[in-house]
Structure 1
Amino acid sequence: MRADARRNRERLLRAARDTFAEQGVDGSLEEVARRAGVGVGTLYRHFPARDDLIEALLHERFERTIAHAESLREGGDPWAAVEAYLRDVLSDAATFRGVAASIKATMHDASTPLGTVCALSRQGWSTLLEWARAEGVVRADADADDVLRVVYGIAWAADQRRARRPDSDPRIEPMLRIVLQGLRS
């Protein structure tokens, strides 16, 4: 990628972070281009569809989440690793209003950009969960995809609550504690 194209891409990602933080993932793509100081055509050359832009924003977050899980795994405490990973996943899914629904809709569709990055996250989680199960700290019947669906469900529920009552507590932590208690062996 040429240097000017790389700079445009980075500006578009920064502008998308800001726009989506304010307006959710359904925010105006024209606003993203305006904030980045580029034309809409430049935006679409880099990100042909909205999901491509969302994927690019989440990809680096998911990679950090997986790296964090690996570092915790090296620390040798499987329960701490499981708890931290699920908190990170929940934080990633709650990054922008509407992103949890986008993830939920495409998490098992590897033909989409967002589905591809979700597969990366699921793979890291599956490895971590298998380790925790082998160590006896997680229920033997815990299914990796089911746990992620519940966590994304929490993010979606919190998102819905924020949409109805923006100043309210989305109650993420109490819901996550219930999931963690149910997951522990």
Structure 2
Amino acid sequence: MRADARKNRDHLLAVAGSAITEQGVEVSLRDIARRADVGLATLLRHFPTREALLDALLRTSFEELTAKAGGLETSSSPEDALVSWLHDCVAWTTEYRGVTELMAAAIDDPESALHAACVTLRAAGARLLTRAQAAGKARDDIDGADLFALVAALAWLGDQPSLAPRADHLFDVVAGAILTTGS
């Protein structure tokens, strides 16, 4: 990709990220183009569909969260690694309004552009959970799919104005419920 095309693409992604943070994943593509000071055709040349734009925007974050899980596997205790990754995953998911619904749908839809990234992210969390379970630090009756669902549920709480003030407390409650007594 030419340097100027890469610069335009990166600018569009930055503007899209801000717009989604403010307005949610259903923000108008026309609004994103306007904010980026480009025509809609330019946006569509880089990202022909909303899902392609979201895939490009979210893939980097998914990769970062997946890499973080890998680093935590070797640098932290099993329970600290699991809770740290869970916290970061929930915080990121809360940042992009409406992304929880996309992730929940994409995980079950192999045709979705976001499917592979969601599956990889869920697998990263599942590895941390399995490690904590093997160390006797996490409940044995949950799996990676449950953990992925808990990320979505906790992010949803943070996205609700009336519940957002309780989100941190409820995160601690859920994290405590995942970990076994004495951890």
Q: TM-score, normalised by structure 2?
A: 0.89
Alignment of 1:17-166 (within 5 A): 17-159=17-159, 161-162=160-161
Percent of residue pairs identical? 37
Structure 2: segments with no counterpart, 5+ residues: none
- 1:178 counterpart residue number: 173
> 1:73 Cα shift?
1.5
> Are 1:93 and 1:103, in contact at CA under 8 Å, matched by a contact in 2?
no
CA distance in 2, matches of 1:171, 1:54: 29
Cα distance in structure 2, aligned partners of 1:73 and 1:116:
22
Q: What secondary structure, in the 3-state scheme, does the structure 1 residue paired with 2:175 have?
A: helix
* CA drift at 1:76: 4.1
> For 1:50 and 1:111, how far apart are their aligned partners in 2?
15
CA contact (8 A) 1:90 1:152 kept: yes
Whole-angstrom CA distance in 2 between matches of 1:121 and 1:169: 24
Q: What is the aligned-residue RMSD (CA, Å)?
A: 1.7
Distance change (3 Å), C-alpha of 1:2 and 1:19: same
Unaligned stretches of 5+ residues in structure 1:
none
Between Structure 1 and Structure 2, how many residues are aligned? Answer: 180
Shift of 1:13: 0.3
Give the whole-Å Cα distance in 2 for the aligned partners of 1:174 and 1:47: 39
Contact preservation (8 Å) 2:125, 2:147: no
Distance (Å, rounded) in 2 between the aligned partners of 1:172 and 1:106: 25
Distance across 2 between alignment mates of 1:59 and 1:91: 16
Give the Å deviation of 1:9. 0.8
TM-score by length of 1: 0.88
